[in-house]
Amino acid sequence: MTAQDQIKETVTSNDVVLFMKGTKSMPQCGFSSRVAGVLNFMGVDYADVNVLADDDIRQGIKDYSDWPTIPQLYVKGEFVGGCDIITEMTLSGELDTLFTESGVAFDKDAAEKIREANS
């Protein structure tokens, strides 16, 4: 199976996937840590893919999304964005809307706490 096939299989078989440096329990960079922290705090059930464990996946995900940086968040097979986009979407409430429309369970109170802490 090629890296592209592996990536496609991962993003289509999981509702939410975060391609990141490290794991959701042990992020290995600040940007990955921020996005994983948001998802963890909001109680989102997501698959994490450590791109540091496989160079083919690390480069392959950049090619797959045509996006040059990691982390990368996918919801229902669609690329959503990286750290800055996810941060903006969280603070604006757009991420809540995306999760709600996609049928992804999350803690609405936790999302609100993030916005309150950053206002």
> How confident is the model over 35-57, as pLDDT tens digits?
999 999 999 999 999 999 999 99
This prediction has a pTM of 0.96
Instruction: Count CB-CB contacts under 10 A for residue 21.
Output: 19
For the chain, residues with pLDDT lower than 50 are none
pLDDT of res. 27: 97
Question: Given the structure tokens 């990691």, which residue do they identify?
Answer: 70
Distance CA 110, CA 43 (A): 8
64, exposed or middle or buried, with CB in 10 Å at 0-12, 13-18, 19+? buried
pLDDT of res. 48: 98
The fold adopted by the segment(s) 3-117 is Glutaredoxin (3.40.30)
pLDDT of res. 11: 97
pLDDT of res. 119: 86
Annotated binding-site ranges for [2Fe-2S] cluster: 29
pLDDT of res. 1: 86
Annotated binding-site ranges: 29
pLDDT of res. 44: 98
Domain residue spans in the chain?
A: 3-117
Q: To which H or E segment does residue 48 belong? A: strand 47-50
pLDDT of res. 108: 97
